[in-house]
Amino acid sequence: MKKSALPDPFEQARVEKGYGEINDQNDPVTMILRLKDVRKCAHNWKSFQSGAKPGRIVVPSEVNIRDTRQIPFEVDPPQHGEYRALVEAWFKRPLEDEYQEQLTQQISEIVDEALAADSIEIVEEFSLKLQSRALTLLLNIQYQESETWIAWGTHVFRSEDDPLDGEKASILYDYIDEQIDRAIENPGEDLYSVLLASEVDGRKLTREEVKGVMILTFAGGRDTVINAVTNSIAYFAEHPESLNQLREKPEIVGKAVEELIRYFAPLTHMGRVVTEDAEVCEHAVKADSRISLCWASANRDASVFENPNEVVLDRKVNPHVAFGFSHHKCLGATHARQILKTLLAVLAEKVKAIDILDYQENIEEWGEFQRKVGYDSITVKFSAQE
């Protein structure tokens, strides 16, 4: 097994039953494992809702550490559509030239630093920095603010020994409260200010709603982007031929990003609350229980993907669900895609080889399933293109 491989722990259950069961703080979850079932359930918001008690659709559940509703994430149609319309254009800004130039500059700088070092621990010293600095572009705030987020470390929401550490979570919630206060006193052109001035249903967004969008923006794009960037470095370390392929055919970079994201599935799954007794792949799910849409399993479904456990960098048809599906598909996907496209282009341009020196895998436990989602740490050495 290659060090960069992410095995698929769901295969047997997916083929034989189509679901798995996990207990989570006495609020059990039926994990939906097949691509078509995952898509259907994601689309069917009436039977499988997101607008439940805040935190309940997240697995592990955050109901005990969070009261603020994340928006638009924890709202169902039709209200969901109004919130989504409000923020959609802002989250498409990564398509603008100036945004892309700044992102290229940021990522080139980080790669240059890595090339200059004897060795570098990727999670803390590369991916966290890259993610935090890029987030200043998405929020349209000063670059220096990223220093604060980098100082939080990778475990601001999830400490090493307790995935649901309320004290850690409150660092973020308190920070966002302060930032909203600042934007109220001194409005600018940042996301906080834009949201505070926005209207829904002919009224201004409430402070709590603004907070809900901001928590989503911070939380949704942190571990996921860090894992995607880190896993990309690990992948290219063991696949120098793929860096060559990108150098020779830069036009495949978009396909390469989709394929890496399919393979990595940085978010393993997301839950829904069942509103009425229902059946998924001939399995009964009860009202007020939970299901989860297992993006990681669906992305390896051999009934749809040929050679699902291989990275085929220029895979042409790739209907993956790594960014979710339907109404609630990832709001930050444009930003995430742009980060990865830029990273791949910069690596292809500057880097000849990457050697893995040491690593510690990050293994998630979901009932009977153990899934590697990335690394707790991975130290590498970069070598420059001549």
Partner 1 sequence: MAKITFITQDDETITLEADSGSVMELATENNIKGIDGDCGGVCSCATCHVHVEPSFFDKVGEASEIEKDMLELDDNVTEYSRLVCQIEISQELDGVVLHVAK
Contact residues toward partner 1 (CB under 8 A) are 36, 39-40, 43, 254-255, 257-258, 262, 304, 315-321, 323, 325-326, 329, 333-334, 337
Quick check: 215 and 124 in contact, CB under 8 A? no
| Unique residue bearing structure tokens 């999670």 | 123
Residue whose CB is less far from partner 1, 302 or 353? 302
Rounded CA gap, 159 and 365, in Å? 15
Quick check: 90 and 105 in contact, CB under 8 A? no
Residue whose CB is less far from partner 1, 179 or 224? 224
Residue whose CB is less far from partner 1, 303 or 370? 303
- Please, which residues have CB within 8 angstroms of residue 277's CB and are 6 or more apart in sequence? 284, 285, 286, 287
- In whole angstroms, the minimum distance from the beta carbon of 341 to partner 1 comes to 9
Rounded CA gap, 5 and 238, in Å? 9
- In whole angstroms, the minimum distance from the beta carbon of 260 to partner 1 comes to 12
Buried b (16+ CB within 10 A) or exposed e, 148-159: ebbebebebbbe
DSSP 8-state assignment for residue 205: P
Among 225, 204, 173, 167, residue whose Cα is nearest residue 69: 173
Alpha carbon separation from 113 to 122, 129, 343, 369 (Å, rounded) = 12, 11, 14, 38
- In whole angstroms, the minimum distance from the beta carbon of 267 to partner 1 comes to 15
DSSP 8-state assignment for residue 127: I
The SS3 assignment for 132 reads helix
Tokens at 92, concatenated: 């498409």
- In whole angstroms, the minimum distance from the beta carbon of 51 to partner 1 comes to 19
Residue whose CB is less far from partner 1, 153 or 254? 254
Residue whose CB is less far from partner 1, 36 or 372? 36
Interhelix angle for 207-220 vs 128-139, to 10°? Answer: 150
- In whole angstroms, the minimum distance from the beta carbon of 10 to partner 1 comes to 19
- In whole angstroms, the minimum distance from the beta carbon of 39 to partner 1 comes to 6
| 3-state SS string for 33-72 | CCHHHHHHHHHCCCCEECCCCCCCCCCCCCCCCCCCCCCC
- In whole angstroms, the minimum distance from the beta carbon of 35 to partner 1 comes to 8
Tokens at 160, concatenated: 């090493």
- CB burial of residue 144 (10 Å; 0-12, 13-18, 19+): exposed
Residue whose CB is less far from partner 1, 183 or 257? 257
- In whole angstroms, the minimum distance from the beta carbon of 330 to partner 1 comes to 10
Residue whose CB is less far from partner 1, 1 or 89? 89
Residue whose CB is less far from partner 1, 1 or 317? 317
- Please, which residues have CB within 8 angstroms of residue 179's CB and are 6 or more apart in sequence? 192, 214
- In whole angstroms, the minimum distance from the beta carbon of 326 to partner 1 comes to 7
Residue whose CB is less far from partner 1, 113 or 314? 314
- In whole angstroms, the minimum distance from the beta carbon of 43 to partner 1 comes to 4
Alpha carbon separation from 327 to 39, 119, 155, 284, 346 (Å, rounded) = 11, 43, 29, 24, 33
Residue whose CB is less far from partner 1, 144 or 307? 307
The SS3 assignment for 199 reads strand
